[in-house]
C-alpha cells in the first residue's frame, strides 16, 4: 500500500525505502483480555489478515470500550481492502482514545484508499500533531499535501522530517521532487546529491538526480547517472525513457546510436507485451459512423504542449470524429479544465496501470490512438506497447522515434523529416503533413515594443530556452558572435547560480567577456513574455531547437537566428522561419549562423522593420494554420484508418482479444 501511494508523481521511488507500515497491533498500547487480541496479533505476524480480523472482532465484542481491539481490527481490514469497515473500526478506536496516533495514521490511509483525500488530510494532520516523531507519516502526508495543491505545506513538512531524521534518504528525495516541481532544478540537484550519498543504489533517486542535472545543462553527467540507474533497475521503463530523452539533447551519440537505444527500449519492454496485440471490438463501418480518436498525454495542463494541441482539439470536426482524451498527470489546473471541455470523453488515468489503461482504451473502441509524449514525463508508452487500438501514432511531444513497433506512424512534415533522410532512424512510418503543428499564443502576451537598441540600450541577443538545450557547441558559436559584437550582450533565461557559474566559465574560455552576459531567473509566463521587450534578436539552440520558446519569441516580435540540422529536432527552427518567409534568419552552417547574427547587429533598422510587422504576420499565419493543420491531420487519420480496414476488415468482427 505504501509503495503504491508513494510512487505517484515520481515521489517515494527510492529502491530500498526505509519507510515501513506502522504495525500497532504487534505492540498494543493497552493490554486487553489475552486470548483473541493476542491471537489476532499472531495472525498479523503470519500475514493471515482474515484470521486476524476474526480474532480482533471477537476481542472488540469482549471489550467494546478498549481502543486497541478496534485498532487491530481496522488494521487487518485495511490490509484486506475492506475499507469502509476499516474506517468504521478506526473511527471507533480514536473516539475511545482521541490521542491514539496509530489510529489516526491508519485512518488516513484508509480514507485515501477510499478516494477521500480531504478526510485523509484531516486524519494525518491530527497524527502529526499527536506524534511528530512518527517517521512513516512524513512521506505519505507530504505527497498528499502536494497532490491536494498545497506544495508549500508539503515542503515545510518534509523539511521538518529531514531535521528529525537526517539519515532518511527518502525525505531528501521528496524535497528534491518538490523543488523540481517548482523548477528549482539547481536546488533539486543539490538535495538529490545529498540523498544519493545516503542511498547510492536507489535507481529512481538516480533518475531524478539525472533529470535535475539535465535541466541545469549537465547532459553528459546526467547520461552517465542514468546508465547507472538502468544497470540497477533494468526492468524500469521510466528510467530508460529518461535516458532516451537525455541523449536527444546532447551530441555524444550519433543518430544511428540513438535509434539503437530506442530499439533496445522496444526489445526490453515491448516484446514481452506483443502477445496482447490482436482483434478489436469496433467494426469497419466508417464513414457511416464517427471515427474514434484518442489522445494520451500528461500535459493537458499549464504546459507548453497545451499551446499546440488546444487549437487542434478546438477545430476538430465533431460530425466526423469523436474525441477521447486520456490524462495521465495527477494535477488539474485551469488549462486542464479548458481542454477537458473540448473532448467528447475525458478520462483521468493517473494511477491507472498501463494494462488497465489499455483495457479501457479497448473498451472505448478507439480507432486511432495518438501519443503526445514520446519518452517525456508521464508518458504511457507501455500502454501503446500493448496495441490497444488498431492504428497508433505519436505526435508533438517528442520529435524522435519512440522505438515501438506498435506505434504505426509518427506525424511530421517534409521540412522536419525530408523524404529519404530519416526513415532509417524510425520504427514508425513517417506521416508527413504539409505542416505538422500550430500554436495558440498566450492571452497574457503584452504588446510588441520598439527595438530596444533604438532606445539607447545595448544591443541584446537572447536565449530563453530550457538550459538543457544549451550545449558547449552552441556556447562556442554564441561566444564568437559576442567577440565580433563587443558592445552587445547576451541574455540567458532560467538561470540558477550553478548554471550561471558553468555558462560564465564556458563563455570566458571561448573569448567573451563577463559583462556581456545577462542572466535572468526563471519567472512566470507574463514576466517571461515581457523579457522579450529587452531582446533585439534571439539565438536558437542547436542541435535541439527551441519549440514553444521560438513561437513565443516570434509572437513578441523577436525573430531567432536558427541553425538547420539533419534531424527533426534540429530542423524545427528553420522550418518555422521558412514557413514565415524569414529565410534571412536561417543558417545552414555555424559560420553562417554567426555571420547572420553579426549582420543584424549592424543593420538594426532592417531588424526593427521585421519586429514591427511580425506579430500581425504571425497572427494571420496562426489563425489559418490552426484550421489547416487540423484538416490535414483529419484527412491523414481517415486515410490511415481506411488503409488499415482495407488490410484487415475480416479481423475486425467479434470481441477484442
pLDDT tens digits, residue range 173-216?
Answer: 999 999 998 878 889 999 999 999 999 999 999 999 999 998 88
The domains located in the chain, with CATH, are 274-433 (3.40.50.11380), 452-602 (3.40.50.2000)
Q: For residues 214 and 237, what is the distance between their CA atoms, to the nearest angstrom?
A: 19
Does an H or E element contain 412, and which? strand 409-413
Let me know: does 448 contact 611? Beta carbons within 8 Å: yes
Confidence of residue 159 (pLDDT cuts 50, 70, 90): very high
pLDDT at 4 (0 to 100) = 33
pLDDT at 560 (0 to 100) = 98
Confidence of residue 285 (pLDDT cuts 50, 70, 90): low
Q: Is the pLDDT of residue 32 over 50?
A: no
pLDDT tens digits, residue range 576-598?
Answer: 999 899 999 999 999 999 999 99
pLDDT at 652 (0 to 100) = 47
CA nearest 564: which of 531, 590, 538?
590
Nearest 5 degrees, angle CA 82-CA 84-CA 85?
65
Q: For residues 585 and 20, what is the distance between their CA atoms, to the nearest angstrom?
A: 59
pLDDT at 16 (0 to 100) = 34
Q: Which residues pair with 391 in a beta bridge?
A: 368
Confidence of residue 128 (pLDDT cuts 50, 70, 90): very high
pLDDT tens digits, residue range 383-405?
Answer: 999 999 999 999 999 999 999 99
What is the residue whose three cell numbers read 506498435? 406
Confidence of residue 519 (pLDDT cuts 50, 70, 90): very high
pLDDT at 619 (0 to 100) = 94
Q: Is the pLDDT of residue 2 over 80?
A: no
pLDDT tens digits, residue range 402-428?
Answer: 999 999 999 999 989 999 999 999 999
pLDDT at 421 (0 to 100) = 93
- 15-19, 75-79, 364-368, 393-397: segment of lowest average pLDDT: 15-19
pLDDT at 286 (0 to 100) = 62
Q: Is the pLDDT of residue 17 over 70?
A: no
What is the residue whose three cell numbers read 507501455? 382
Mean pLDDT for 272-300 is 86
Confidence of residue 655 (pLDDT cuts 50, 70, 90): very low
pLDDT at 149 (0 to 100) = 86
pLDDT at 365 (0 to 100) = 94
Mean pLDDT for 108-115 is 95
pLDDT at 185 (0 to 100) = 87
pLDDT tens digits, residue range 441-470?
Answer: 988 899 999 999 999 999 999 999 988 899
Q: For residues 195 and 483, what is the distance between their CA atoms, to the nearest angstrom?
A: 42
Q: Is the pLDDT of residue 25 over 50?
A: no
| Helix, coil or strand: residue 457 | coil
The per-residue pLDDT of the chain, averaged, comes to: 91
Mean pLDDT for 271-287 is 80
Torsion of CA 576, 578, 580, 582, to 10 degrees: 120
Within a 13 Å sphere around the CA of 451, how many CA atoms are in the beta-carbon half? 24
Going by the DSSP 8-state scheme, the letter that residue 436 receives in this structure is -
pLDDT at 7 (0 to 100) = 35
Q: For residues 371 and 624, what is the distance between their CA atoms, to the nearest angstrom?
A: 25
Mean pLDDT for 471-478 is 94
Work out the end-to-end distance of the chain between its first and last CA atoms, rounded to an integer number of angstroms. 31
pLDDT at 279 (0 to 100) = 77
Q: Is the pLDDT of residue 636 over 60?
A: yes
pLDDT at 23 (0 to 100) = 47
Radius of gyration of the chain from its Cα atoms, rounded to whole angstroms: 28
For residue 480, give every residue at least 6 positions away whose Cβ sits within 8 Å of its Cβ, in sequence order, or none.
510, 511, 594
Q: For residues 83 and 142, what is the distance between their CA atoms, to the nearest angstrom?
A: 22
Q: Is the pLDDT of residue 283 over 70?
A: no
Confidence of residue 288 (pLDDT cuts 50, 70, 90): confident
pLDDT tens digits, residue range 294-344?
Answer: 999 999 998 999 999 999 999 999 999 999 999 999 889 999 999 999 999
Counting residues of the chain whose pLDDT is more than 90, the rounded percentage is 81
Amino acid at each position: 500500500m505504501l509503495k503504491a501511494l508513494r510512487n505517484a508523481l515520481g515521489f517515494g521511488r527510492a529502491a530500498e525505502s526505509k519507510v515501513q507500515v506502522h504495525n500497532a497491533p504487534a505492540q498494543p498500547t493497552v493490554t486487553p483480555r489475552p486470548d483473541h487480541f493476542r491471537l489476532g496479533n499472531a495472525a498479523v505476524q503470519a500475514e493471515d489478515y482474515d484470521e486476524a480480523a476474526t480474532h480482533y472482532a471477537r476481542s472488540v465484542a469482549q471489550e467494546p470500550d478498549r481502543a486497541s481491539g478496534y485498532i487491530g481490527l481496522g488494521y487487518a481490514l485495511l490490509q484486506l481492502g475492506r475499507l469502509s469497515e476499516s474506517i468504521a473500526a478506526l473511527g471507533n478506536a480514536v473516539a475511545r482514545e482521541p490521542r491514539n496516533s496509530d489510529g489516526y495514521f491508519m485512518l488516513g490511509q484508509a480514507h485515501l484508499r477510499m478516494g477521500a483525500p480531504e478526510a485523509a488530510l484531516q486524519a494525518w494532520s491530527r497524527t502529526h500533531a499527536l506524534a511528530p516523531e512518527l517517521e512513516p507519516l512524513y512521506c505519505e502526508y507530504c505527497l498528499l499535501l502536494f497532490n491536494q495543491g498545497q506544495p508549500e505545506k508539503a515542503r515545510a513538512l518534509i523539511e521538518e522530517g529531514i531535521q528529525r531524521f537526517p539519515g532518511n534518504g527518502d525525505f531528501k528525495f521528496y524535497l528534491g521532487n518538490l523543488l523540481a516541481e517548482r523548477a528549482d532544478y539547481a536546488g533539486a540537484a543539490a538535495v538529490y546529491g545529498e540523498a544519493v550519498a545516503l542511498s547510492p543504489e536507489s535507481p529512481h533517486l538516480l533518475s531524478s538526480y539525472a533529470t535535475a542535472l539535465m535541466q541545469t545543462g549537465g547532459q553528459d553527467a546526467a547520461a552517465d547517472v542514468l546508465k547507472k540507474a538502468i544497470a540497477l533497475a533494468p526492468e524500469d521503463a521510466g528510467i530508460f525513457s529518461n535516458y532516451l530523452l537525455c541523449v536527444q539533447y546532447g551530441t555524444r551519440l550519433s543518430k544511428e546510436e540513438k535509434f539503437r537505444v530506442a530499439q533496445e527500449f522496444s526489445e526490453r519492454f515491448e516484446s514481452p507485451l506483443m502477445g496482447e496485440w490482436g482483434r478489436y471490438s469496433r467494426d469497419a463501418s466508417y464513414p457511416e459512423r464517427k471515427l474514434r480518436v484518442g489522445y494520451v498525454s500528461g500535459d493537458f495542463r499549464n504546459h507548453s504542449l497545451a499551446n499546440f494541441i488546444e487549437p487542434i482539439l478546438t477545430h476538430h470536426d465533431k460530425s466526423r470524429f469523436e474525441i477521447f482524451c486520456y490524462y495521465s498527470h495527477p494535477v488539474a489546473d485551469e488549462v486542464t479544465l479548458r481542454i477537458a471541455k473540448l473532448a467528447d470523453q475525458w478520462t483521468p488515468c493517473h494511477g491507472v496501470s498501463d494494462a488497465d489503461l489499455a483495457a479501457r482504451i479497448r473498451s472505448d473502441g478507439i480507432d486511432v490512438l495518438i501519443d503526445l509524449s514520446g519518452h517525456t514525463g508521464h508518458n504511457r508508452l507501455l500502454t501503446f506497447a500493448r496495441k490497444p487500438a488498431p492504428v497508433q501514432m505519436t505526435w508533438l511531444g517528442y520529435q524522435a522515434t519512440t522505438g515501438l513497433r506498435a506505434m504505426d506512424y509518427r506525424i511530421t512534415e517534409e521540412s522536419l523529416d525530408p523524404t529519404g533522410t530519416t526513415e532509417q532512424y524510425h520504427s514508425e512510418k513517417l506521416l508527413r503533413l504539409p505542416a505538422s503543428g500550430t500554436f495558440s499564443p498566450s492571452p497574457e502576451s503584452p504588446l510588441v515594443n520598439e527595438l530596444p537598441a533604438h532606445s539607447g540600450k545595448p544591443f541584446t541577443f537572447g536565449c530563453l530556452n530550457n538550459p538543457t538545450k544549451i550545449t558547449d557547441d552552441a556556447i562556442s558559436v554564441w561566444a564568437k558572435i559576442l567577440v565580433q559584437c563587443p558592445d552587445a550582450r547576451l541574455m540567458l533565461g532560467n538561470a540558477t547560480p550553478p548554471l550561471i557559474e558553468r555558462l560564465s566559465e564556458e563563455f570566458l574560455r571561448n573569448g567573451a567577456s563577463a559583462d556581456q552576459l545577462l542572466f535572468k531567473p526563471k519567472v512566470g509566463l507574463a514576466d517571461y513574455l515581457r523579457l522579450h521587450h529587452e531582446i533585439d534578436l534571439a539565438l536558437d539552440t542547436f542541435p535541439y531547437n527551441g519549440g514553444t520558446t521560438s513561437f513565443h519569441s516570434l509572437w513578441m516580435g523577436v525573430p531567432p537566428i536558427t541553425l538547420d540540422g539533419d534531424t527533426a529536432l534540429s530542423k524545427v527552427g528553420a522550418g518555422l522561419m521558412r514557413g514565415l518567409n524569414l529565410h534571412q534568419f536561417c543558417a545552414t552552417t555555424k559560420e553562417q549562423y554567426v555571420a547572420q547574427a553579426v549582420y543584424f547587429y549592424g543593420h538594426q533598422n532592417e531588424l526593427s522593420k521585421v519586429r514591427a510587422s511580425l506579430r500581425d504576420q504571425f497572427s494571420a499565419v496562426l489563425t489559418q494554420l490552426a484550421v489547416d493543420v487540423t484538416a490535414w491531420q483529419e484527412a491523414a487519420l481517415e486515410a490511415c484508418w481506411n488503409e488499415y480496414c482495407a488490410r484487415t476488415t475480416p479481423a475486425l468482427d467479434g470481441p477484442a482479444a
